Amino acid sequence: MLTGTFTGTASIASFAVYLTYIDFMNNMGHCNFELVPKSLFSTFRPLKYLMYTPSFHSLHHTQFRTNYSLFMPIYDYIYEAEDRGIKVLSLGLLNQGEELNRNGELYIRRQPQLKVKVVDGSSLAVAVVLNSIPKGTTQVLLRGHLSKVAYSIALALCQMDIQVATLHKDEYYKLNARLGRDAGCNLVLSKGPSQRIWLVGDGLTEEEQLKASKGTLFIPFSQFPTKKMRKDCFYYNTPAMLTPKCLENVDSCENWLPRRVMSAWRIAGIVHALEGWDVHECGDMMFNIEKIWQASLQHGFHPLMMPQTPSLN
């Protein structure tokens, strides 16, 4: 409807049809009998994105307490996975987040009897980032949206006696509150971006990139890649690993990754299933970082080749 308005193609008739259809869908969703046979949705699968039924409304609104939406198939997929005997459900990059569903915690809170283990893959993403930092590094700059992964990276580095610097006071205070007194001694508020290793996430601005020293290595901890603004700096891939050679018919899960490379969040779900770990990894829950890193290596996943790295002196 908004598209028609902004492109100048809307009409009184289109508004009338739209409002009539939405009102009809709302009334049909609240009735106590089915008008549309289930077989019709099996035959014409895109139909589920155009209309909904009383049973759909009951599942999404009554049980999950979500508002009317045709584009929330995640709940259907979770139950379908459980019905098929699937043990692990790996959350996709757009199906997790603190603001969206508390990093997947919302699913298991509303359905505590769920047998499928929900995995967001944060632990392996942290492990990949930690193992991407060049050996001999003594200080890094952490910049970007402070996600679950960012907090875990900062904690791990501080425990390794690597100094973690931030550019903004609000980020410093948030991190310091999470790290505790012992680990927090390695957290500093930087007066200027002199560090040669930047761990970056969503929220990194172009102006901040331009302030980086020549030869700086940008290592993303975000799910989506950092926009490359500097030709005199080095940019690493988002947390990902090379898949085993025995894994066939694999291209890339994300178009910014090379062929046969899979994001760490997806690999974590595979490793959980292969190892038979009967635990969730969502919400504030974090799996053992070293354990999942070693398990992924044992199952044939390999770290990516590092770009030519800057001198650390």
Say if residue 64's pLDDT is above 70.
no
Provide the residue type at 47 as one letter.
Answer: L
Global confidence as pTM:
0.76
Range name among 55-64, 90-99, 129-138 with the lowest pLDDT average: 55-64
Torsion angle of the four alpha carbons 43, 49, 52, 55, in this order, in degrees rounded to the nearest 10: 70
Say if residue 304's pLDDT is above 50.
yes
Say if residue 313's pLDDT is above 50.
no
pLDDT at 254: 81
How does DSSP assign 243-295, residue by residue? Answer: PPTT--S---SSTTSPTTEEEHHHHHHHHHHHHT----B-TT----HHHHHHH
Domains of the chain (ranges, CATH numbers)? 1-72 (no CATH), 82-313 (3.40.50)
Provide the residue type at 34 as one letter.
Answer: E
Query: Burial letters for 89-123: b for 16+ Cβ neighbours within 10 Å, e otherwise?
Result: bbbbbebbbeeebbbbbbbbeebeebebbbbbbbb
**Predicted confidence band at 276 (pLDDT cuts at 50, 70, 90)?**
very high
What contacts 204, CB < 8 A, 6 or more positions away?
143, 144, 226
Q: Is 41 exposed, middle or buried (0-12, 13-18, 19+ CB in 10 A)?
A: middle
pLDDT at 40: 80
End-to-end Cα, the chain, rounded Å: 58
pLDDT at 50: 73
Query: pLDDT digits over 155-188, tens only?
Result: 999 999 999 999 999 999 999 999 988 888 999 9
Cα separation, 97 vs 91, in Å, equals 10
Find the farthest-apart pair of alpha carbons in the chain and give their distance in angstroms, rounded: 72
Classify strands 240-242 and 261-263 as parallel, antiparallel or unpaired.
antiparallel
**Predicted confidence band at 76 (pLDDT cuts at 50, 70, 90)?**
low
- Cα torsion angle, 229, 232, 233, 237, sign: positive
